[in-house]
């Protein structure tokens, strides 16, 4: 009887009492503190990371892309992003190949057809009124993220729109900004072509979709070899090339998408529009680039809000805004305490919250799982992210 009671009280202690004691002991440490108290009774206080006043003085601004390019070498074989479809991994990319594509697309943004993304003068104080705008209109994808990083390198300002905006809102935004270049998902192209007569400025559409699909993926085997960050290690670099060749053998063209693109190209041509496949703009192998427009006050992105209180409004984000949203967060106590291995990306990356999380995970070297974009498979995507 005594043994039974002892076991019973032990279980009670472990399950109920010990967690409370742990919480109390950690309350002094904490991960956050109030940096601005609520002004009204029904409002929440503003919280910042612990010791933010002391820590804020140690962060010296540096362009985010310079930080990432210093951190990662092009032979890094650690898996960066996995795209899921119908609850199964469909495509993946390593950190090395991710940044290869970033550098290549950045080069194309500056050189495509001799000029790249054109510069326009606007009645704006920021950037001295000079902007090179590239629209981003699509769901979470590897190519969306590559485009975002490439724009930051080439000094192009991203004009970010939610993929669920109505076509009327999109047309309004494109005309107000006089946008000429737009990156978008394949399934969003037809809607714009049908309304091209209302879009006098639009000239180029870049399809973000992957045109290859994988019949089988074995991520576990790839992850066992994370690769060296030292480009001088030729043996590991050669091994990475072999792995890449093997993975390419498992790819096949998505004939359905290719046929649809070819059909849309013909229609777009009659409307004075040019349709470009994303992969065609990442073919050049670029080893080194110079980050343009490093100024901390340079507007790197304009993000259109959801429009819940009226029409969507463009919020300007500077290089410094992005730096302050990413680097201090990577130094947060909670991230230091709990080792992150995988991030499931299911919130829209067109929202700055998810976008900053992407940059944070990129800095930490965490694997990013992009969900299947179908609520029916969300549970499966979550389970896959735990592997």
Task: Select from 72, 77, 102 the least CA-distant residue to 92.
Answer: 77
Give dist(CA 195, CA 218) in Å, integer.
43
Q: Give mean pLDDT, residues 293-315.
A: 90
pLDDT given at position 106 = 98
Complete DSSP assignment for 7-36? HHHHHHIIIIIHHHHHHHHHHTT-SEEEEE
Q: Give mean pLDDT, residues 211-224.
A: 55
Most confident of 18-27, 105-114, 218-227, 237-246: 105-114
Is residue 261 pLDDT above 50, yes or no? yes
pLDDT given at position 15 = 52
pLDDT given at position 254 = 84
Q: Give mean pLDDT, residues 245-268.
A: 77
pLDDT given at position 105 = 98
Is residue 216 pLDDT above 50, yes or no? no
Give dist(CA 85, CA 139) in Å, integer.
13
pLDDT band at 246, cuts 50/70/90?
very low
Among 119-123, 195-199, 304-308, the least confident range: 304-308
pLDDT exceeding 70 applies to what percent of the chain? 79
pLDDT given at position 133 = 98
Is residue 234 pLDDT above 50, yes or no? no
- Which DSSP state fits 124? -
pLDDT band at 215, cuts 50/70/90?
very low
Is residue 217 pLDDT above 60, yes or no? no
Q: Give mean pLDDT, residues 276-283.
A: 95
Output the pTM of the full model: 0.81
Q: What architecture is domain 64-210+237-385?
A: 3-Layer(aba) Sandwich (3.40)
Among 2-6, 248-252, 276-280, 322-326, the least confident range: 248-252
pLDDT given at position 332 = 80
CA distances from 33 to 52, 185, 332 (A): 8, 41, 12
pLDDT band at 310, cuts 50/70/90?
confident
Is residue 8 pLDDT above 70, yes or no? no
pLDDT band at 92, cuts 50/70/90?
very high
pLDDT given at position 10 = 62
pLDDT given at position 6 = 63
pLDDT given at position 194 = 97
- Computed over every residue of the chain, the mean pLDDT equals 84
Higher-pLDDT residue of 58 and 318 is 318
**62 token code pair:** 């540096």
Higher-pLDDT residue of 352 and 40 is 352
Among 40-54, 140-154, 193-207, the least confident range: 40-54
Is residue 328 pLDDT above 80, yes or no? yes
Is residue 14 pLDDT above 60, yes or no? no
Give dist(CA 298, CA 316) in Å, integer.
10
The predicted-structure confidence for 140-196, as pLDDT tens digits, reads as follows 999 999 999 999 999 999 999 999 999 999 999 999 999 999 999 999 999 999 999
CA distances from 14 to 6, 9, 50, 107 (A): 12, 9, 29, 58
Higher-pLDDT residue of 12 and 381 is 381
Is residue 123 pLDDT above 80, yes or no? yes
Cβ 343 vs Cβ 367: under 8 Å: yes
Most confident of 20-34, 59-73, 140-154, 323-337: 140-154
The bridge status of strand 299-304 relative to strand 133-137 is unpaired
């Amino acid at each position: 009887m005594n043994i039974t009671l002892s076991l019973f009280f032990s279980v009670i202690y472990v399950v109920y009492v010990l967690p409370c004691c742990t919480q109390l002991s950690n309350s002094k440490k904490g991960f956050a503190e109030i940096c601005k108290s609520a002004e009204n009774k029904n409002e929440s206080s503003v919280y910042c990371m612990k010791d933010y006043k002391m820590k804020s003085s140690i962060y010296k601004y540096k362009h985010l892309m310079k930080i990432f390019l210093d951190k990662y070498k092009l032979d890094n074989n650690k898996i960066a992003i996995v795209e899921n479809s119908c609850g199964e991994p469909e495509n993946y990319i390593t950190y090395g190949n991710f940044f290869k594509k970033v550098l290549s697309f950045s080069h194309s943004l500056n050189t495509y057809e001799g000029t790249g993304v054109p510069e326009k003068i606007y009645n704006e104080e920021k950037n001295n009124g000079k902007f090179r705008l590239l629209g981003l209109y699509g769901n979470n994808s590897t190519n969306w993220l590559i485009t975002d990083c490439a724009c930051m390198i080439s000094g192009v300002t991203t004009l970010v729109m939610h993929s669920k905006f109505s076509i009327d809102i999109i047309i309004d935004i494109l005309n107000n900004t006089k946008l000429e270049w737009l990156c978008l998902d394949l399934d969003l192209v037809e809607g714009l072509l049908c309304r091209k007569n209302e879009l006098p400025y639009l000239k180029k559409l870049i399809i973000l979709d992957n045109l290859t699909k994988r019949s089988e993926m074995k991520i576990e085997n790839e992850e066992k070899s994370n690769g060296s960050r030292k480009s001088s290690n030729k043996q590991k670099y050669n091994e990475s090339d072999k792995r890449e060749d093997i993975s390419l053998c498992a790819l096949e063209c998505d004939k359905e998408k290719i046929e649809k693109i070819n059909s849309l190209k013909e229609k777009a041509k009659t409307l004075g529009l040019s349709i470009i496949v994303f992969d065609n703009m990442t073919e050049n192998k670029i080893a080194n680039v110079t980050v343009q427009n490093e100024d901390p006050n340079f507007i790197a992105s304009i993000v259109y809000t959801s429009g819940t209180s009226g029409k969507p409004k463009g919020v300007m984000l500077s290089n410094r805004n992005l730096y302050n949203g990413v680097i201090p967060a990577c130094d947060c106590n909670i991230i230091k305490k709990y080792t992150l291995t995988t991030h499931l990306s299911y919130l829209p990356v067109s929202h700055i919250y998810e976008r900053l999380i992407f940059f944070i995970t990129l800095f930490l070297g965490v694997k990013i799982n992009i969900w299947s974009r179908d609520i029916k498979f969300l549970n499966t995507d979550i389970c896959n992210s735990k592997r």
